[in-house]
Structure 1
Amino acid sequence: MERPVEVELPHKLGREEARRRIAGNVHRLEDHIPGGAAQVSSKWVGDQLNLDITAMGQKVAALIDVEETKVRCRVMLPGMLAFFAAPIEAALNMKGRDLLLEDKSKKD
């Protein structure tokens, strides 16, 4: 049975800048998924990013809604991954803002 994990990440960037940063960082998600050989496919529909993440034989669907002052992340955890909902939610709360909203355009 699937279990949703929902996290809100506040920001002061405005919708357009937050969207630009997420678009520039989405490729980095693969490096943060345990088990290696993760595949992430993404598609923007307006200000919503649809993600399909495949790793360790599991497929996870995620939606990221970019708003003016926050980013809403909803991750649907399948079967066995639902047991890890609490640590996944904690990791998203702790590192999600840095991973998604970090400005890589001003570094090196």
Structure 2
Amino acid sequence: MSTISRQERKNVEDASDAAGNLTGKLAGKISDGLEEAARSAGRFSERLRNNGAQLHEELSAAGERFGDGAKRLGSITSEQIRAHPWAAIGIAVAVGAIASRLLRRR
């Protein structure tokens, strides 16, 4: 068996210390990177929440406007049908005939 000289032992200890220092530095860098990624994810999440809330408000307002317009159209249509029932029947027959011809071609 061979014995390790003092110089070789010192070299091994120095290499071990250097590896330990390097490992510590790498762990610190990784930790910093993970913290930055977590902060970025938090900011992104907050922006998504804000944009989602804004989109929900805009869609709700658009839905209300659409609903109001549909109600007005329904009431106007109902009034016209009551005022001109024969014209309404004629329009319904014409639309049905056109739709039938269009669907038959497919």
TM-score, normalisation: structure 1: 0.22
The structure with the largest helix share of the pair is: 2
* Greater radius of gyration (CA): 2
TM-score, normalisation: structure 2: 0.22
